Amino acid sequence: MIKRVEINYRGIFQKTLAKRIGGDIVMIAARMGQVGFSNGRYSDAPERNGIPCKYFAFVSPDLSEEELEAECGAKLDIDEANISVVLDDTMVKGVEPWAWHGVRPINEKVVPYGYMLVVSRRRPEDLVRFMARKPYPYYLAILEGDASFAGLWVYRDDLTHERVLGALAALDPQLLSIEAVKGYLWDKTHEEHRVEAAQKAYESVRHNVHEVTPLQGIDWPYEIPKLPKWHEFSEGVVVKAVPREFHLGPKGQSRNQLFKRGTTKSQRPVVRFDLCTKCTLCWLECPDQCFDPTPDGYYDVDYEYCVGCGKCAEVCPVQECIVMVDELAFEDNRSPWEHWKRDPEGYIRWAEEKKGTHRVLPNVVTGTGQRVVEAEPVPVGGKPKPAARAGA
C-alpha cells in the first residue's frame, strides 16, 4: 500500500515550507516503521512569484523502499493523491503551472474518500463553490489559518509547518500518528510550543472535516489543452505571434491565449475609478500589461492575466484607489471599469465591501511579517488623497 500526499503551494513564498512538510512526513512515517521519500514536481519553476507548484511525500507501511521508488520515484506528477494539502486557499480556483497545462482543478488527483486539507479561514462551502465537481465523494478538511509565508526567511515563523503535520495526523493516523508527530517535533527542536501547535491543529481539524458529494462543486469551465504530436507543430519551435491589436476599452490589447497565468494570484487589485487621477502609473508599471486603457482615460484590469503581484497598488499615488483584495472574494473576472460605468455608486459600494476594513501594506521586509492596518475608507464623492507610503 502506498499513501500519496501532495502539497500544493505557491512559489516562491511557500517553496521551503512545502519542502519541509514533505520531508517531515517521511521522517515521522519512518519513526512509525514505514518507508517513504519526498520530492518536488521538477517541472515546476517555483522561483516565479505566486505560481502554483507541488511537493510530494510517498509513504508505505509494507513495501520495500525499492518498490516504493519504482512506483513513485522518477515521475513528474502523481496520478492520484490520498491527501492533497493546499497551503493557499486561493488555489481552489484552479492551478496553471505552465502554458499548455491548462487551468487544472485543485482536487484533480484526490481519490474517492481521500482528503483535501486546505489552510483557510473560509467555510467549506465557500471553497467548494470554486472547486470542480468530482464523480465520487471525498473529504474537505480545513486547517484554520492564513496562507503562510513563513518558509521564506524574511518572514516570521507562524508554525504552519507543525500545524499541517498535526492536521495530517488527524486525517490519517496510519500515515502519521499524532504521537509520532509530537515525538518528532520535540526530539528535533525541544520547543514545547511547536508540539502544542501540532496538537491543537490535530484537535481542531478533527472537527473540521466535511464530506463533499458528487453533487457539490462546479462543472469545470477550463479545457485541458491537448499537446500536439511531433509532426503537428512547427519545426524550430517557431510559434505564431499573437497579432498585435489595440482598441480602447476592456480587453483592448491582444494577449497570449495559451498561458493566462491568472491562477498565479492570491490577491487582485480593486480599483476606485472615482479616485483615479489618470496618472498612468499602474498601466506603465504592470509587469504583465494587464491594464487596458479606456476611452475616458482610465485603466481597466484584465483579471484573467493579472498575477496579483501588487505592483499597481504599490505605485498608485492615491490613497485607497488601488487595493489588493483576497482573490476568493471574487466570483468572476469581469471588467471592473464596465461595472463602474454601468453603475458608479453600486460599483463603489461593491468594491468597498470586497476591500473590507483591513489593509495589508505593500510587502516590505520587516522581519515581522505583513503589516496590517485599519482602512481609512473614502466615501463616494470623496476627494483623492496622497497614499501613505510604506516606510514613510
Partner 1 sequence: MAVAQPVGVYEREDLLTGCQAVAEGIRLANVDVIAAYPIRPYTEVMDAISKIIADGKLVAEYIVADSEHSQFEIVKHAASVGARAFAGSSGTGWMYGFEALVVTATDRLPVLFLVGNRALDDPGAFGVEHNDALAIRDMGWLLCWVATAQEALEHVLLGYRIAEDKHVRMPMALAMDGAFLTHSQHIVRIPSQEAVNRFLPPFDLGERRLHPDNPVSIAPQVNEDWVMEIRRQNWEAARRARRVIATAYEEFNQVFGQRYRPPYYFEEFLTDDAEVVLIGMGTVAMPARTAVRRLREQGHRVGYVNLRWFRPFPTEELRESLRRFRAVGVIDRDFAHGAPDDGGVLLHEVRSCLYPVRERPAVVNFITGLGGRDVSIQDAIRMFEITQEAAREDRLDGFVTWVGVRE
Return residues touching partner 1 (CB under 8 A): 43, 76, 98, 100, 227-231, 233-241, 243-244
Contact 38, 57 (CB under 8 A): yes
Q: How far is the CB of 343 from partner 1 (least distance, A)?
A: 39
Comparing C-alpha atoms, which of 221, 224, 216 is closest to residue 133?
A: 216
Nearer to partner 1, 227 or 372 (CB): 227
Q: How far is the CB of 97 from partner 1 (least distance, A)?
A: 10
Cα(199)–Cα(140) distance, integer angstroms: 20
Q: How far is the CB of 227 from partner 1 (least distance, A)?
A: 6
Q: How far is the CB of 230 from partner 1 (least distance, A)?
A: 4
The number of CA neighbours under 13 Å toward the Cβ of 106 is: 31
Identify the DSSP state of 51. -
Q: What letter represents residue 188's amino acid?
A: K
Nearer to partner 1, 234 or 257 (CB): 234
* Strand ranges (E), 126-195: 138-144
The number of CA neighbours under 13 Å toward the Cβ of 3 is: 23
Q: How far is the CB of 91 from partner 1 (least distance, A)?
A: 21
Nearer to partner 1, 229 or 358 (CB): 229
Neighbours of 339 (CB within 10 A): 16
Cα(340)–Cα(21) distance, integer angstroms: 44
Cα(46)–Cα(16) distance, integer angstroms: 10
Nearer to partner 1, 113 or 233 (CB): 233
Nearer to partner 1, 215 or 227 (CB): 227
